[in-house]
């Protein structure tokens, strides 16, 4: 069976990943399932998550990564809405994703946004800790290896959707996960 395409959106909170994912689901002709880190984190009881955050979040995110692989193995297309952080407790997310999905059709997309706009969106949302977007942005993207980079403070959702739709036609040019595997493939994986 042909593996389903994976559009992997990586960016900090309030960068526009969820809005973009939903727009893609609506605009693309094929059916895409959205798999979100927030949804998997919300599966855990809040008190239990608070009591042992890195263990519980690690379990939830690992389950998410395996779910993405399962959907693709079933021939289903997936849009991943994720925040791959590079802290010692969370670098395993990048390592695990790269190892699990290296041989899969993954379009790895950086979803970024100007810091002032991120902070404005964060305040407007009201469901995030103040400073979360800035902190996450400071703890990701250091490798800067992506197939496509978008800036939602400079590009409209229509432009972002069109760029991704265009890149979906260029599977032979997707190489980010192969390049990341050169960095992380032999790294010892440790969950926080």
Q: What are 15-47's pLDDT values in tens digits?
A: 899 999 999 999 999 999 999 999 999 999 999
Q: What's the confidence (pLDDT) of residue 40?
A: 96
| Positions in the chain short of pLDDT 70 | 126, 187-192
Q: What's the confidence (pLDDT) of residue 124?
A: 85
In this prediction the pTM is 0.92
Burial 80-116 (b: 16+ CB within 10 A, else e): bbbbbbeeeebbbbbbbbbbbbeebbbbbbbbbbeee
Q: What's the confidence (pLDDT) of residue 188?
A: 62
Q: What's the confidence (pLDDT) of residue 161?
A: 97
Burial 23-62 (b: 16+ CB within 10 A, else e): bbbeebeeebbbbbbeebbeebeeeebeeeeeebbbebbb
Q: What's the confidence (pLDDT) of residue 130?
A: 79
In the chain, where are the structural domains located? 6-183
Q: What's the confidence (pLDDT) of residue 191?
A: 53
Q: Are 65 and 94 in contact (CB under 8 A)?
A: no
Q: What's the confidence (pLDDT) of residue 117?
A: 86
- Whole-angstrom Cα distance, residue 43 to residue 57? 10
Q: What's the confidence (pLDDT) of residue 137?
A: 85
| CB atoms near residue 67 (< 10 Å) | 15
What is the homologous superfamily of the domain 6-183 according to CATH?
P-loop containing nucleotide triphosphate hydrolases (3.40.50.300)
């Amino acid at each position: 069976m042909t593996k389903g395409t994976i559009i992997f959106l990586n960016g900090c909170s309030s960068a526009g990943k969820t809005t973009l994912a939903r727009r893609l689901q609506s605009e693309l002709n094929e059916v895409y399932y959205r798999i979100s880190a927030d949804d998997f984190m919300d599966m855990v009881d809040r008190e239990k998550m608070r009591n042992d955050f890195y263990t519980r979040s690690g379990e939830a995110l690992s389950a998410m990564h395996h779910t993405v692989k399962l959907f693709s193995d079933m021939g289903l297309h997936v849009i991943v809405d994720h925040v791959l952080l590079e802290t010692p407790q969370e670098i395993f997310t990048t390592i695990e994703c790269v190892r699990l999905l290296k041989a899969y059709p993954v379009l790895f997309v950086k979803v970024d946004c100007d810091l002032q706009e991120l902070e404005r969106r964060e305040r407007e949302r009201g469901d995030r800790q103040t400073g979360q977007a800035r902190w996450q942005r400071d703890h990701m993207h250091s490798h800067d290896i992506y197939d496509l980079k978008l800036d939602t403070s400079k590009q409209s959702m229509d432009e972002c959707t069109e760029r991704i739709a265009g890149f979906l036609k260029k599977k032979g040019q997707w190489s980010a996960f192969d390049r990341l595997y050169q960095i992380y493939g032999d790294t010892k994986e440790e969950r926080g």
